[in-house]
Amino acid sequence: MPTFFVPLIRPEDLPTGAITPVSTEGRTLLIANVDGQYYAFPPECPHEGADLSRGRLDGAAIRCPNHQYLFGFPDGNLIESDDDACPPLTMFQLEEHDGTISLRVDL
C-alpha cells in the first residue's frame, strides 16, 4: 500500500498548547500541539459546526467554544457532552517526515 506525506507545518512554528489552521489540498485543517504530540482535525465541530479554532485545549482534548463539548485525542471521542448522539471528531493521521509535521495518506 503506497504512503504519501503532505507537509503541513514545521514543529517550531506551532508551540505547545497552540492550535493553528493549515490549508492543504483545497481544505483547512486545524493542528494542535499537546506537549509535543500533534493532532489534526477539521475546524467544524461535529455537533453543530462551531469553529473549533476558537476552542481551547483541555489536556489532550479540545473543548468547543459553543456548547463546551469535549473531544479527546487521539481518537476524537466525545468525553463530555449532554448529547450522546453527537458523532466523534474526525481525526487525521500525522507523522513527522523530513522535519515537517505531515499528513499521512495511505492509498
Identity of the residue, 55 or 103, whose beta carbon is nearer to ligand FES in the bound complex: 55
**Helix then strand then coil, % of the chain, to nearest 5:** 5, 50, 45
Smallest separation (angstroms) from ligand FES to the CB of 73: 16
Nearest to 52 by CA among 20, 79, 27: 20
- 59-78 footprint of ligand FES as x/- string (CB under 6 A): -----x-xx-x---------
Q: Which is nearer to ligand FES, 50 or 60 (CB)?
A: 50
Of 18-47, which residues contact ligand FES (CB under 6 A)? Answer: 45, 47
- Cα angle: 19, vertex 16, 20; to 5 degrees: 15
53 binds ligand FES (CB under 6 A): no
CB-nearer residue toward ligand FES: 10 or 56: 56
Cα 32 to Cα 76: distance, rounded to the nearest angstrom: 12
Contact 39, 32 (CB under 8 A): yes
Segments in the chain forming alpha helices (H): none
Contacts to ligand FES by CB under 6 A: 45, 47-48, 50, 64, 66-67, 69
